[in-house]
Copies of this chain bind each other. A is one copy, B any other.
Amino acid sequence: MIDKSRRVTGPAGPRDTRRHNLSLVLREVVAAEASSRANLAEATGLTKATVSSLVSELIEAGLLVEGGQDTAGRIGRPGLMLSLNGDSVAGIGLEINVDYLAVCVLDLLGRVRHRRVVRTDNRLSPPDEVINAVARLGRQAIGKAEQQGMLPGGVTVAVPGLVELGEGTLLTAPNLGWRRMPLAAILAERMRRPAPKARIEHQPRVRIENEANLGALGELWEGRGRAWGDFCHISGEIGVGLGIVMGGALLRGSGGLAGEFGHIQVDRDGPRCPCGSLGCLERLVGQEALLATAGIDAELATSIGDPKDGGAAALVARARAGDGRTLAALAEAGDVLGAACGTLVNLLNPATIVLGGIFAPLAPWILEPFRDGLRRCSLATRWQAPRVEVSELGPEAAVRGAASSALRDILADPYLMPRGSKEVS
């Protein structure tokens, strides 16, 4: 569970101490939403002089802004309130999924500054073209951030497959048919803008991460996840993913490959999966299985319904219209998914299960059979029923989590702040 990308490799020096304390102050401001220097000193245990110096550096770097007064009725001279600077740095989230590409630009106050979804079947194009398309979306997003006066702080790319811990390597994306690819490095290269166009020298760092993990982190950081305790977030797309959050952190497994929920075997005699196994969950309840069972042509599926429902748009439209075959397909899928979540509950006993991705817009039709399947197939449910929540971010959770993750990297290490206007020194 060691994230190699963050491992300290040499001896620690004063710069590491400074980095640590800058991050401590920042995270305290995040936790308190806004805070005065005096409160920050109290909360962090640092001296007021040290806090003042750290705060100056963070203001200088564009991470904090000062304004407003601490009116919490404390004794003494009221301190000026510090909060995160929402106008300085942008987190860029990108997503490569099976049937769409997405991008999201987020600022430090959690405001979405730019978003775009391009529906396209990425299985039909060579990986090279898909990567070029996503790099183009990334460059556009950086341009949008700069137009709004912000510096691109980092890029995180959500991918529908296994990602090697800390290496930036995609091991396999079964539904795309992609295998072993140094995707972070390739994307960094292709997003590099020619010198005259770049307003700054800084080239943002590019990381890749499993989309289901980012979906869960999106819920935790940008959605309602903090209220859920330990939770399992199910991302329904063409594949079905899982992000497990325990104690406020992602459970990654020993090699970073935990959460491959879509490939648990739910029917030994079930259909063949591109992963090589039989009867994988996503072959029964993933988007394509749902469309097929509902009798909706894949071509047609992209042209009807509300785009905000993502790949579920056609299913939602048909279900709303009361189409019997669609309703039956959703009821059956809800039951199978609930039973599979019974396995999750048996193994992990989470406080909350979250229906995310396309399962969010489909919740009105799958929720009841889901609860039945869950109850039937998990022992603990009779004693401690997990809370079942429907994601509000839905299919957008992963790309939102990706953008947020790029910003969190800077909060954890303020020296990653881009050197555009002012430099953190």
| Residue on B nearest A342 in the bound complex, by CB | B265
Most chain B C-beta atoms within 10 Å of own C-beta, residue among A174, A346, A376: A346
Provide 21 A-B residue pairs closer than 8 Å at the C-beta atoms, listed in order of the A residue.
A1-B246, A162-B380, A246-B251, A253-B348, A253-B350, A254-B349, A254-B350, A255-B383, A257-B349, A257-B380, A258-B347, A258-B349, A260-B380, A263-B379, A265-B343, A265-B377, A267-B268, A275-B379, A277-B376, A347-B347, A347-B348
Instruction: Report yes or no: B383 in contact with A268, Cβ–Cβ below 8 A.
Output: no
Instruction: Report yes or no: B259 in contact with A383, Cβ–Cβ below 8 A.
Output: no
- Does A242 interact with chain B (Cβ within 8 Å)? yes
Q: A230: shortest Cβ distance to chain B, in Å?
A: 5
Complex alpha-carbon distance, A1 and B230, angstroms: 9
Q: A260-B379, A376-B277 are in contact. Are A230 and B247 (CB under 8 A)?
A: no
Instruction: Report yes or no: A347 in contact with B260, Cβ–Cβ below 8 A.
Output: yes
| Residue on B nearest A229 in the bound complex, by CB | B254
Q: A343-B265, A346-B260 are in contact. Are A172 and B255 (CB under 8 A)?
A: no
Complex alpha-carbon distance, A350 and B174, angstroms: 21
Most chain B C-beta atoms within 10 Å of own C-beta, residue among A162, A172, A349: A349
- Does A252 interact with chain B (Cβ within 8 Å)? yes
Hey, which chain B residues are within 8 Å of A1, CB to CB? 230, 246-247
Q: A230-B1, A343-B265, A347-B264 are in contact. Are A257 and B377 (CB under 8 A)?
A: no
Q: A307: shortest Cβ distance to chain B, in Å?
A: 31
Hey, which chain B residues are within 8 Å of A276, CB to CB? 376, 382
Instruction: Report yes or no: A349 in contact with B379, Cβ–Cβ below 8 A.
Output: no
Q: Which residue of B174, B255, B349 contacts A253 across the interface (Cβ within 8 Å)?
A: B349
Q: Which residue of B252, B257, B379 contacts A384 across the interface (Cβ within 8 Å)?
A: B257
Hey, which chain B residues are within 8 Å of A351, CB to CB? 254-255
Copies in the complex: 2
| Residue on B nearest A174 in the bound complex, by CB | B379
Most chain B C-beta atoms within 10 Å of own C-beta, residue among A229, A251, A380: A380
Residues of A within 8 A of B (CB): 1, 162, 164, 171-172, 174, 229-230, 242, 244, 246-247, 251-261, 263-268, 275-277, 339, 342-344, 346-351, 376-380, 382-384
Q: A1-B247, A383-B162 are in contact. Are A261 and B347 (CB under 8 A)?
A: yes
17 new A-B contacts, CB < 8 A, other than A1-B247, A257-B380, A343-B347, are A1-B246, A162-B380, A242-B347, A252-B349, A253-B349, A254-B384, A255-B380, A256-B349, A259-B347, A264-B346, A264-B377, A265-B266, A265-B343, A276-B382, A277-B342, A277-B379, A347-B347
Q: A382: shortest Cβ distance to chain B, in Å?
A: 8
Q: Which 7 A-B residue pairings sit nearest by Cβ, starting from the closest? A: A253-B349, A254-B351, A260-B346, A257-B380, A258-B349, A257-B349, A255-B384
Most chain B C-beta atoms within 10 Å of own C-beta, residue among A247, A256, A379: A379
| Residue on B nearest A339 in the bound complex, by CB | B265
Complex alpha-carbon distance, A256 and B351, angstroms: 11
Q: Which residue of B174, B268, B383 contacts A171 across the interface (Cβ within 8 Å)?
A: B383
| Residue on B nearest A164 in the bound complex, by CB | B383
Hey, which chain B residues are within 8 Å of A348, CB to CB? 251, 253, 258, 347
Q: A1-B230, A229-B254, A230-B1 are in contact. Are A379 and B172 (CB under 8 A)?
A: yes
Q: A1-B246, A251-B348, A260-B346 are in contact. Are A277 and B377 (CB under 8 A)?
A: yes
Hey, which chain B residues are within 8 Å of A260, CB to CB? 346-347, 378-380
